[in-house]
């Protein structure tokens, strides 16, 4: 048996080397030393586990994971038809680097996140792929719900989001009908009618006036109904007239008529100048309640999304109304196509607030964006039920 003298151990120093590579290609590098009095001292700084154990593979051991997802900007987008980018891709790349794994992205044929089919008791989309163990991980802005927890597992949430609504803004270009916008229809109808009524009143006042009974003044006051209407019309257009009333009562009435004309023309001029110079976009929809009762704008959302299922099954009366309209709307799985339909077919896009804001911000002159207040949801990645990857991903 080999025996070592304890004093000999105390007096000696031991160099510590790390091994880079394997077998014939291995190289050695001194990284520290050990002695009895001082202990272990590293000569490399900063100290990292890979400096000491360069051949160790942390995390998942360089395995290749199958990852399910769909395109939904700004979380996941295609680059030149082959590459991928987006917020969730950045998270996945960071996880891949930290936990030492590779990945292959796969898209479901239906291009959905997934809905539950009561007839087949199965899931579609990315959730269905995770439920059937076809993928190891599903990424995207997938909403955490109790119903989904029964069939798959979620990682810790990476974000929270609300409900956003995007719809088409009214065209604010200058058009000929803008000259009629200062007044409502009933004002345009009553203003010409007022000219004829004032003409009638002037004729009646002249007939019953005391001056009319005087033989000398009767000829000056003897204006016909036609002449009185013409005088009223001329004053409305700011044109001078010669046959103004001579009696006091008629002149008092004309004074009030002038005041009315001045106020009317001043208001019209100011309002028309305002709408031609200042563009103020008035939002016709500010909440889901407004959208549910809007007479012309119809709601639409991404087929297979959380909101698609939420509105169809909601017990809220307004949300049920939105759900019925969504059921009648086309099934679309491409957000870009939905935004085109918003402009051309008078739809309102209801989806995750960050998604709607991203697309609406591309053309602020064409789209209006509003966010529903008081509602937030957690977003996370998914794994098959009881998958060991869930704990590793969530912990990291």
Q: Which residue has tokens 């009762």?
A: 293
For residues 97 and 82, is the Cβ–Cβ distance under 8 A?
A: no
Per the structure block, which two tokens stand in for 251? 């002149």
Condensed to tens digits (0 to 9), the pLDDT of residues 81-123 reads: 778 999 999 999 999 988 888 999 999 999 999 999 888 889 9
Let me know if 226 is exposed, middle or buried by CB neighbors in 10 A (0-12, 13-18, 19+): exposed
Condensed to tens digits (0 to 9), the pLDDT of residues 171-216 reads: 655 566 677 777 788 888 888 888 788 777 777 777 776 555 554 5
Separation of CA 388 from chain center: 36
Residue 380 sits at the vertex; the CA angle it makes with 378 and 383, to the nearest 5 degrees, is 140
Report strand pairing: 163-168 vs 39-42. Answer: unpaired
Per-residue pLDDT of the chain (396 residues; tens, 9 = 90+): 445 555 555 567 888 887 765 556 677 888 888 887 777 787 776 555 555 665 554 567 788 999 999 999 999 999 887 789 999 999 999 999 888 889 999 999 999 999 998 888 899 999 999 999 999 999 999 999 999 999 999 999 999 999 999 999 876 555 666 777 777 888 888 888 887 887 777 777 777 765 555 545 545 555 666 677 777 777 777 666 566 666 777 778 778 888 888 888 888 888 878 777 765 555 678 889 999 999 889 999 998 888 888 898 888 899 999 999 999 999 998 999 999 999 988 899 999 999 999 999 988 888 989 998 878 889 999 999 988 888 777 755
**Full-prediction pTM beyond 0.85?**
no
| Domains present along the chain, CATH in parentheses | 12-56 (no CATH), 166-172+282-376 (3.40.190.10), 176-277 (1.10.287)
Between CA 195 and CA 178 the distance in angstroms is 24
Per the structure block, which two tokens stand in for 129? 């792929």
Phi, psi at 45, each rounded to 5°:
-135, 145
């Amino acid at each position: 048996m080999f025996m070592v003298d304890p004093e000999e151990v105390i007096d000696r120093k031991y160099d510590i080397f790390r091994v880079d590579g394997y077998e014939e290609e291995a190289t050695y590098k001194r990284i520290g030393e050990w002695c009895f009095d001082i202990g272990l001292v590293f000569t490399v700084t900063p100290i990292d586990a890979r400096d000491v154990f360069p051949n160790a593979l942390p995390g998942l051991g360089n395995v290749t994971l199958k990852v399910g997802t769909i395109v939904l900007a700004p979380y996941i987008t295609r680059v030149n038809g082959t590459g991928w980018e987006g917020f969730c891709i950045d998270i996945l790349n960071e996880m891949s680097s930290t936990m030492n794994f590779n990945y292959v992205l796969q898209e479901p044929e239906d291009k959905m996140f997934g809905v539950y089919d009561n007839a087949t008791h199965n899931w579609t989309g990315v959730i269905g792929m995770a439920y059937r163990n076809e993928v190891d991980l599903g990424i995207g802005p997938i909403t955490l719900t109790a119903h989904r927890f029964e069939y798959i597992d979620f990682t810790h949430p990476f974000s929270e989001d609300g409900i956003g609504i995007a719809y088409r803004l009214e065209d604010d270009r200058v058009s000929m009908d803008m000259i009629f916008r200062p007044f409502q229809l009933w004002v345009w109808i009553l203003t010409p009618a007022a000219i004829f009524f004032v003409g009638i009143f002037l004729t009646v006042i002249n007939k019953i006036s005391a001056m009319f009974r005087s033989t000398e003044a009767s000829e000056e006051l003897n204006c016909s109904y036609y002449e009185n209407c013409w005088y009223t019309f001329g004053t409305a257009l700011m044109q001078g007239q010669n046959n103004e009333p001579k009696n006091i009562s008629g002149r008092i009435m004309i004074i009030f008529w002038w005041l009315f004309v001045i106020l009317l023309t001043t208001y019209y001029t100011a309002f028309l100048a305002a709408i031609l110079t200042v563009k103020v976009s008035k939002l016709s929809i500010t909440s889901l309640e407004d959208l549910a009762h809007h007479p012309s704008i119809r709601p639409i959302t991404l087929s297979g999304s959380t909101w698609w299922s939420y509105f169809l099954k909601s017990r809220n009366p307004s949300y049920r109304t939105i759900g019925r309209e969504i059921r009648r709307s086309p099934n679309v799985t491409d957000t870009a196509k939905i935004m085109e339909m918003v402009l051309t077919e008078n739809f309102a896009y209801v989806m995750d607030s960050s998604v709607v804001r991203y697309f609406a911000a591309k053309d602020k002159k064409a789209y209006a964006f509003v966010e529903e207040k008081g509602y937030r949801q957690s977003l996370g990645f998914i794994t098959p039920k009881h998958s060991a990857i869930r704990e590793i991903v969530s912990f990291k």
